[in-house]
Amino acid sequence: MTAWDRQRAALRAEITATACALFVEQGFDATTVDQIVETVGISRRSFFRYFGSKEDVLLGDLAARGDAVARALAARPADEDPWTALRNAMLDAAPETFADPVADLAIARMMHGSPTLRARLFEKRQHWRDALVPLVADRVGGPDAVFTASAVVSAVLSCVDTASDAWVASDGKADMADLYDRAVVAIRS
């Protein structure tokens, strides 16, 4: 990374941390971009160089998290069935995708309280599907590989959402992997 890249990354992290603190304190919908930029000490224009919207402050790294799962899935042994490979890939990618459970819990609570954020989450989750379906299709093979892979990935992501909802309901005390496994058992029964 160049000095310029480090400077940009530091400002992006500062904007994110400041915005998240305001979101937790005031609520997502009550926090404005103007409040964020005033607190950070930057212009609106600078804010929009880093983020396309207020929602992207919270959800901007969701695509990167999907990419981490895709990289982990590509590295899984070829003989693992798609369900096992996806589960193991999510566990392997957890240091990148679930590194801060306290922040993740606060963000998940905000998503539950904001229909706008929830809608953006599902929109951004499409990136995960786009990244994972071809990798799963390679594992499945055959003439219906993409169809089957799409169904499996969609089901897995639904299980992730179900586990996440239960995790939030438990105030972050339940084990996310266990919740996911229970959701998979329920859907595959």
Q: Could you tell me the domains of the chain?
A: 3-57 (1.10.10.60), 61-188 (1.10.357.10)
Percent of the chain with pLDDT over 70: 100
pTM summary value: 0.81
pLDDT of residue 174: 96
Q: DSSP of 79-135, one letter per residue?
A: TS-HHHHHHHHHHHHHHHHSS-HHHHHHHHHHHHH-HHHHHHHHHHHHHHHHHHHHH
d(CA 133, CA 139): 10
pLDDT for the residue 98: 80
Q: Does residue 165 register a pLDDT over 80?
A: yes
Give which of 182, 150, 189, 188 is closest to 163, Cα–Cα: 182
Query: What would the mean pLDDT of 97-120 be, rounded to a whole number?
Result: 81
Closest by alpha carbon to 150, among 165, 164, 129, 167? 129
> What is the predicted pLDDT for the residue at 63?
78
pLDDT at position 8: 87
The mean-pLDDT minimum among 13-17, 59-63, 134-138, 185-189 falls in 59-63
Note the pLDDT tens digit of each residue in 51-96.
988 888 888 778 788 999 999 999 999 999 999 999 999 999 998 8
How far is it, in rounded angstroms, from Cα 35 to Cα 22? 8
